[in-house]
Structure 1
Amino acid sequence: MMNLDPTRWAIVATMLLAYGGMCAAIWRSRRSVATATGTADWLVLHASQTGTGEYLAARTRDTLATGGLSVHVASLDALDEEQLRAAQRVLFIVSTYGEGDPPDSGARFARMISTTRANLGHLHYGVLALGDSSYSHYCGFGRRVDSALAGLGAQALFERVEADRVAPAAIETWQHHLSHLAGTSDAPDWSAPDYGQWRITERTLLNAGSAGAPVYLLGLKPVDGSRPQWQAGDLVQVSAPADPDYPREYSIASLPADGRIELVVRLHVHEDGTHGAASGWLCSGAAEADTIRMRVREHRRFQAGDNATRPMILIGNGTGIAGLRSHIKNRPQGRTWLLFGERSAAHDALFGDELRQWHQAGSLEQLDLAYSRDGGEHTYVQHLLAVRTAMLRAWIADGAAIYVCGSLQGMAGGVHEVLIDALGQDTLDQLDAQGRYRRDVY
């Protein structure tokens, strides 16, 4: 029999306890949905990346409740095949991510619904598909869910509702259907918080001389002198004068204690040389006296939540540093590891001095930086992670959570593949179910 020294026994014990905790979390979430399918009148399932679907699911519950109906709301990834077979009345509120992909909280369901042979003839359902028509696969995941359910015999209660950038007319259509299901016209108000008026107090170019598009640090304060509250991981929505009906979301890079909201915005330049409606207004269009229509939006999926006291692995690139920076600032005494990538150290070291100071002070226990255009072969943040797999596994065994912020194409996909190779798909699914794998990618 192989003998292990006490240190190795401790590591093994820690990993077994962590695995047991993951399994318990998954069991609790599945049991919650299983109980609901047998007792609630309606099951409302949401899948979104930045929380819009979750918000609309809560409002859906409130509307159905006005008719005396019992409703259980859950994330789509909490539903397994057995529970799907048992469900009678389900409303799906699902976003599309990237080019037709499911959000993280819908990936597991997407795999399941594509392989199941369940007979769902007893299931009555409705779909609210959230999307952005500027993408070629508009509402792609919502359409896939609707088509797959219909193909398994489920009966649609009404035609799929598609909301282009959460268009008010589409949301009103969804509310109309809900009022009919609830048998009441006394629906609660779904109005989002009003936009406030803000002014830019600082606009600093962070990447002078870069071969990439300009990146600016923006400081903003409310005109009325109020002190809005937010948490690390939260977002703002900006309504630009050129396109006031389309709110552009940005990660907040600061904390309320800083006395202002800070954003990291890359100027978007179209092929014809024109600027993006929101980034152009923020980075160059708005003058000192102009006001910015902006509101804070909670992003619970990317907040620290139950992970506040855990070790935290932060991974990102480009302007994704904003969401990661707020988390670092929020945990000066916690164990934190940052892996971050950009173009070149000479011109694109976003917050480089600040990161080095945090590393020296111990706020960052581990700091790994990748500059893809320095040297010969391009090195990206996922490559940094790939050579740190032993450290990654050790941090996960110690209970660490993984937060990823930045570009969906390239970085986030590459990091995801490295995590699967290093930890295994099952472990990554368990981390996601336990809330220890969270992404804010775009």
Structure 2
Amino acid sequence: MLKTLRNAFKIPDLRRKLLYTFMMLIIIRLGAVIPVPGVDASIISSWFDTQNEMFSLFDAMTGGSFAEMSLFAMGIIPYITASIIMNLLTIAIPKLEQIQKEDEDGRKKIAKYTRYLTIVLAVIQSTATAIGFGRQGLITNYNIWNVLVFILATTAGTALLMWIGERITENGIGNGISLIIFINILSRLPIDLRILFNQITAESRAFVVTALILLICLIIFIAIVTFVVLLQVGERRIPVQYAKRMQGRTPVGGNSTHIPLKVNTAGVIPVIFASSLLQFPAIITQFFTQQEVTGIWGTILNFINYTTWSGAILYAALIIFFAYFYTSITFNPMEVANNMKKNGGFIPGIRPGKPTVEHLTRIVNNIVLVGALGLTLIAIIPIILQGAYGLSLSFLGTSLIIVVGVALETVKQIEAQMLMRHYKGFLKS
């Protein structure tokens, strides 16, 4: 692997892209330690101590910026939310769908709308944070001017992260937005490991018992990483044959290819959707009161809390639902079948038209179920271990899916760059 890296740095343009990406990631980590003026970060830190693993995931995706209330406290989450909303709107609104299909100009318009929506969401999120936590002492001098400073600073931080992500995608290696989340989660890994180590060694146990627990945790970590890698790279390849036809005097077609359908088609989106939906009532409640909620609303909050059995079952059901939902809006079997038919393609043994649509739908449904169950297992394991043994394993769930997925995609891009220059890639060395 070191030889491959050395070969990569021998290529001038690839070396320039790698260094550009690396410098941008350094800027991101520097911005994560710049505090917002007039903020008492201890308020957020003490609040996080009383929350569960999902809030730790949110802090991890901001690289600890939210807990420290730094310039990048809102993180890149508003941009991700805006992108998801725009994807849904392009399906619901025919005008936006038409714009998206206008090649490069259409994509630029959708990207522009996404940026505007990102700023709006960042303002809403920062305003809710300033007002909700400002009354509890987050802002030292709680008045309208200091609230505006907080909103402007954190919104500007999100805008800067969005700009950096787009620049990495354009001039660097990999997807910029994904790499921002990747580096933020990795920056929290040493802290999470230290917390886990302190939890294990806090109780007075024999050295052999402590060592055995650490070994078991290491084995679990390696097993989950292996499972996540298999889940991310697994795919079902549907063979497609194109009939040979004549264009003028030139024969075209006649070749064979395949449609690659990933096992985990929806990625980490179902987990984020499910957790956000379950945590939204609790977050809203936290903004209005810090006391323990009782009565019917307290019963509802306890029921949907996924650290309980009822909440965990609901959490798993939502992950499976959103896996099917997101896959249905990103992969349209009817559109794929029509495109194949227009280009003279067909699946061997399946007639074009409706039978092809039914065949693709059946395969997609089976694959999505496997991927959704795998995502559910990965998301539930840290919750079970935390509830049974009180161990903080936040880095094993959703964070690990994101890190592994981004790492694999980035490596594939580097491989593609090197393959064009006849070098072996990371996965082949």
TM-score calculated relative to the size of structure 1: 0.24
- More contact order relative to length (CA 8 Å, sep ≥ 6): 2
TM-score calculated relative to the size of structure 2: 0.25
Larger radius of gyration: 2
